[in-house]
Amino acid sequence: MINSSEVSYIKAPNHLETVKYPDPSVIAAVYNAATKTLSELTQSMFDAIDDSLFELANNARSNNEQNRFFEAMREVRIKRQSIESNFQQQVKSLFEPKAVLTSSISDPTTENAVKDNLSLVGESEMELNIAISSMASKSKSNLQKALLDTQHCFGQLYGAKTPELVSSPLEPAGICRCFSESCNSLEVDIKEQLLILKQFDRFVMTHFDEVLNVSLQKLAEAKFSPPKKHAASAPIIRNNQRGTQSSRSSEHSSNSDSSKNRNQNSDQPRADENFEALLARFQHHSGNTNTHQASYASSATAEMQKALSVIQRTLHGLDEKAQVNLNNLVGKELSLTGAQLSQYDNDLIRLVSMLFEFILQDNNLAPSMQALISRMQIPILKVVIQDSRFFSSNTHPARHLLNSLAKAGISWTETQRKDSDPLYAKLKQIVSRTLAEFDGDLRLLKILDQDLNQFLSQEERKASIVEQRTREAEEGRIRSIQAQEKVELTLHRQILSAHHSIPEFIIDTLKNGWSRVMFLAYLKDDQEHQWSNTVDISKELIWCLQPLTAPKDRQRWISVVPKLLKDLEAGLRNVSYNSANIDQTISAIKTELTTSFKDSSYAQATSKKPKTGNGEREALKPSDIKSNDTYSTEKENNVLAKHIEKANALKVGQWVEFKLVNGDTHRCKLSANIKEADCFIFVNRMGLKPIKKSLIELAQDLQKNRVIFLEQGLMIDRALSSFASNLLPNQKN
């Protein structure tokens, strides 16, 4: 991409005399922790870049534009590994003592020179410079407190008399510059370069507090910490702070330490108050009137945490259909150590049990999916005990993961070969990893949630392409049927409305030749507006075959026929009708028209019997054409009326479950409602069409309870809403 300008610095006079060479093992520990987190963030970023370029190519307005985006996607994929490697090397250079032992006080003259140079660069390079500068400034503004703490710790590490004069290797500007220089090898246009920077900002710099947190943790382990006056607001390195951050897959961008610290006094009590209110209702409902202390922390002992870990490992080895009773399992495990549960812990266990009972009774999930997700209750209980904000914050990592599992499961249909199903296998892998590895660190849950969302995004992208093709094919098929019916009905009315004889040859040409022209015109009418013209041509042909005695009619015939023959020939050639003998066909039509014109007289018109075959006319009976009012009788049926209304209210994207007569079930979502064709098209999670219904058929299924609408709201929110209403103190049983 670009090379940022070098900036020289003025060194403080007492700076170098007061520093020492740091312990290399500490530097290595901090660097490894920081780059590991950066690597995870950049993995998400590159996946997002790939998705974005694919979407841009898919929605491109021209082949050239589409090829450009595909080439950019290919370029990024090929050079991704080298960019990641170069990025790590660039970041490593920031940890070199020569880079750290530099004052953050910049030379004003040099800054002016840099500004002057920027005014001389090209427009594209200027855009990139501005994007990088803006990205670094935003991150520095959001993370002031964490950056100051990191700089102070590095000052201590180097033994500086004034730690603020030491440059932190984790300054946003330096990190942004490293990434920019790592991308220099990419041969892409400015639009793609800006897109890459945007994704770097979204997936890396927006979550840069995670890098600072793990670095501060390593520095703290080496006995380097921020000043005590900041200790109260210092970042919490492990569970609680990470639990309050939104998932990287969400689009919330407020992840800074400073904003969280500023809002701590106002937001946190509110979250805990919500949890306490829920707990108070639960206690009232269960007859427990004991009050708790103001502290929101669980009174759980180390024995309880150990017991939960033992149960978690046990669950990992159990059959996935095994039912779990939390109270019994925890009580039994604790009895082995002689420890007792407090009332507070009992209440937490019962609340979590209620949550998973809700999951096991939720018809929006298939039974196997209910059983699979219910295995998460021990990890969730461990989370709730250490951080009650699980019940209050919808961005809590554990809550977000649980909601993601449920959201993914809503589209899954029960099957005998579930282990071979990619979606079920992925969810099972997520649950198994949680049971095997979760030790209380919410970082694992965030990684698993990110992994799951990445998998789901890829699956949804494939399914959306298949669904679009399925929908277009079905709409095209329906449109073809409509066109065929319209053509037949139009020709049928034109032929029957004629009060004169029509030669068999002309009827055959209209039915088998000109009908094709009308069919194509109907399909393309939105763009070419040719339908009415083709209708007029067939109408003119029939009119010109009648006996004409009035001078004005005969004059009109003379002016109409030449253009009529030309239009007929052009249309029939376009649809390749009788292409080997098209000249003979047009000649025969001309002969019929000429003969009719010459023989025209009033006497002939009244005495001559029709030559047209009645069999042909009988073949096109009105009963053969479908009526537009096929369901008038059904709609008047009072029994079906409410179900018809409910079916009509079904929105595109709504998931439903169909129960077939053989006992099988199908989970599908409404992909299209083609009202003019009275057709509801449903697709499965892979985008294929297993079911198609008319309005009446869907209403009848609703009436017979053969189809249910699935709720798509967040599962935990629905569960907590249900608890809140069911646990009202004055609610009657």
SS (H, E, C) 311-366: HHHHHHHCCCCCCCCHHHHHHHHHHCCCCCCCHHHHHHHHHHHHHHHHHHCCCCCC
pLDDT bracket for residue 283 (50, 70, 90): low
Percent of the chain with pLDDT over 90: 8
pLDDT bracket for residue 10 (50, 70, 90): very low
Contact 365, 406 (CB under 8 A): yes
For residue 724, pLDDT over 50 is answered with: yes
Of 8-12, 205-209, 322-326, 357-361, the range with the lowest mean pLDDT is 8-12
Burial 45-56 (b: 16+ CB within 10 A, else e): bbbbbbbbbeeb
pLDDT digits (tens, 9 = 90+) for 575-604: 888 877 888 888 889 888 888 888 765 444
Contact 355, 370 (CB under 8 A): no
In this prediction, residue 348 carries a pLDDT of 78
In this prediction, residue 600 carries a pLDDT of 64
For residue 616, pLDDT over 80 is answered with: no
pLDDT bracket for residue 365 (50, 70, 90): confident
pLDDT bracket for residue 163 (50, 70, 90): low
Better-scored residue on pLDDT, 548 or 306:
548
Burial of 295 by CB count in 10 Å (0-12 exposed, 13-18 middle, 19+ buried)?
exposed
Domain parsing of the chain, residue ranges? 19-109+123-241+254-259, 299-440, 474-624, 630-710
pLDDT digits (tens, 9 = 90+) for 706-716: 888 888 767 88
Q: What are phi and psi of 704, to 5 degrees?
A: -95, 10
Number of Cβ within 10 Å of residue 512's Cβ equals 11
Instruction: Write the secondary structure of 196-260 as one string of H (helix), E (strand) and C (coil).
Output: HHHHHHHHCHHHHHHHHHHHHHHHHHCCCCCCHHHHHHCCCCCHHHHHHCCCCCCCCCCCCHHHH
Contact 432, 651 (CB under 8 A): no
In this prediction, residue 498 carries a pLDDT of 83
pLDDT digits (tens, 9 = 90+) for 366-377: 888 888 888 888
Burial of 479 by CB count in 10 Å (0-12 exposed, 13-18 middle, 19+ buried)?
middle
Mean of the per-residue pLDDT values of the chain: 75
Output the six-digit token pair for 439.
């030790």
For residue 634, pLDDT over 80 is answered with: no
Percent of the chain with pLDDT over 70: 71
For residue 359, pLDDT over 60 is answered with: yes
In this prediction, residue 176 carries a pLDDT of 92
3-state secondary structure of 172: helix
Contact 315, 378 (CB under 8 A): yes
Question: Please, what sign has the CA dihedral across residues 551, 557, 560, 561?
Answer: negative
In this prediction, residue 136 carries a pLDDT of 87
Strands (E), 368-489: none
Strand partners, 326: none
Of 95-109, 164-178, 225-239, 294-308, the range with the lowest mean pLDDT is 225-239
Q: How far apart are CA 683 and CA 464, in angstroms?
A: 10
In this prediction, residue 459 carries a pLDDT of 87
Q: How far apart are CA 310 and CA 302, in angstroms?
A: 12
Average pLDDT over residues 713-720: 78
Burial of 187 by CB count in 10 Å (0-12 exposed, 13-18 middle, 19+ buried)?
exposed
For residue 143, pLDDT over 60 is answered with: yes
Of 36-40, 391-395, 420-424, 448-452, the range with the lowest mean pLDDT is 391-395
Number of H helices, E strands in the chain: 31, 5
pTM (two decimals): 0.49
Contact 94, 211 (CB under 8 A): no
Q: How far apart are CA 147 and CA 9, in angstroms?
A: 19
Strands (E), 608-730: 655-659, 665-674, 679-683, 691-693, 707-709
Q: Quick one: CA torsion of 192, 198, 203, 205, rounded to 10 degrees?
A: 130
Average pLDDT over residues 175-188: 89
Class of domain 630-710: mainly beta
Contact 258, 143 (CB under 8 A): yes
Average pLDDT over residues 163-190: 85
Average pLDDT over residues 14-29: 65
In this prediction, residue 269 carries a pLDDT of 35
For residue 394, pLDDT over 80 is answered with: no
pLDDT bracket for residue 518 (50, 70, 90): very high
In this prediction, residue 537 carries a pLDDT of 92
Burial 205-237 (b: 16+ CB within 10 A, else e): bbbbbbbbbbbbbbbeebebbbeeeeeeebbeb
For residue 262, pLDDT over 50 is answered with: no
Instruction: List own/partner pairs for 260-265 with CB under 8 A and 24 or more apart.
Output: 261/145, 261/233, 264/233
